Amino acid sequence: MQIAFIGLGNMGGPMAINLVKAGHSVKAFDLSQDAVAKVVAEGGQAAASALDAVQGAEAIVTMLPASQHVEGLFLGQGGQSGLLASIAKGALIIDSSTIAAATSQKVAQAAQAAGIDFIDAPVSGGTGGAIAGTLTFMVGGSAGQLERARPLLEKMGANIFHAGSVGAGQTAKICNNMLLGILMVGTSEAIALGVANGLDPKVLSEIMRRSSGGNWALEKYNPFPGVHENAPASKGYTGGFGTDLMLKDLGLSQENATAVKASTPLGGMARAIYAAHSIAGHGGEDFSSVIKMLQKQG
């Protein structure tokens, strides 16, 4: 299949390469020439621009930083017309960016008017999952659109969830990541409280993991150094999912909560805590480093 891939960062790059490896013809674009070169090295083609990339494409995959980039790309901005005008009728857009659900819905509506399918398909699983092709996709769109996309998604991911109609993938992702942000702070608090009382963090973590406090952080991503050998906490809080990325997702959850008048006390608190952690200079560290806010180090 002829595929355009736009946005080749730490996540998008490996995803595009997995599509190339699966035998697809992938025309790739990014503002960074180096990023394009990596895909070309694996057998992809370089596009001179986003407009060039979508020429003749049957499917377009995008992986961009924020709402305004997706809206600007497809709908245009600053007097420049958007890509929708140049994409072939009947094509399928898979947007894997993590953005506001309202933006997904706005672009999808314009796409539909132009005879183009648009689904939101944000991912979880990190750069490791992007490289291994084991990402989780949370998809918003019709069942039929998801089935169109499935063959491509399966080359990039291992779990594909149908969250609901367009925008629902974004909502599911921010709900999940809000909960993850809460789990990580809560788990950090619990361990820090135990350690302040003289408990061994490994012993306490194991007790809670097997009890009603059990959660993903205790299972796979313990914030206390040395409990999980391969977790970022045991590697100086490098790798993994950065504090500033968690802060962005928690910001999206709070914008959404504001829009629908939902009450998210712990989600709001988690955002404030990660914001303070970022202000203190830890924005580039893995988000599990938030335990430093709660426990004296060294």
Can you tell me the distance from the alpha carbon of 5 to that of 45, in angstroms, rounded to the nearest whole number? Answer: 10
Nearer to a second copy, 56 or 210 (CB): 210
Residue tagged active-site, from 89, 173, 248, 296: 173
62 near a second copy (CB under 8 A): no
Nearer to a second copy, 97 or 104 (CB): 104
Are 83 and 108 contacting, i.e. CB atoms less than 8 angstroms apart?
no
Task: Write down the least CB distance from residue 51 to a second copy, Å.
Answer: 25
Q: Is 179 in the site for a second copy (CB under 8 A)?
A: yes
Tokens of 119: 């689904």
Considering the rule CB under 8 A, would residue 124 count as an interface residue with a second copy?
A: yes
Q: How far is the CB of 71 from a second copy (least distance, A)?
A: 15
Confirm or reject binding of residue 270 to a second copy (CB under 8 A). yes
Binding test (CB under 8 A) with a second copy, winner from 1, 46, 189, 239: 189
235 a catalytic residue? no
Q: Which of 192, 231, 233, 245 binds a second copy (CB under 8 A)?
A: 192
Residue of 77, 230, 238, 258 interacting with a second copy (CB under 8 A)? 258
Please report whether residue 154 would count as binding a second copy according to CB under 8 A. Answer: no
In this chain, which of 175, 202, 234, 239 binds a second copy, going by CB under 8 A?
175
Q: Which DSSP helix (H) or strand (E) runs through 226?
A: none
Report if residue 98 touches a second copy, rule: CB under 8 A: no
Residue 155 sits at φ, ψ, to 5 deg, of -75, -20
Please, where are the H alpha helices in 49-91? 50-54, 67-75
Strands 123-124 and 135-140: antiparallel
Among positions 256, 286, 288, 289, the unique one binding a second copy when judged by CB under 8 A: 256
* Residue from the set 18, 98, 171, 222 that interacts with a second copy by CB under 8 A: 171
The 8-class DSSP code of residue 89 comes to T
> How far is the first Cα of the chain from the last one, in angstroms, to the nearest whole number?
54
Q: According to CB under 8 A, which residues from 210 to 249 bind a second copy?
A: 210-216, 219, 221, 247
**Whole-number Å distance between alpha carbons of 158 and 204:** 32
Q: With contact defined as beta carbons under 8 Å apart, do 163 and 172 qualify?
A: yes
DSSP notation for 135-184: EEEEEES-HHHHHHHHHHHHHHEEEEEEEESTTHHHHHHHHHHHHHHHHH
Residues known to be catalytic: 173
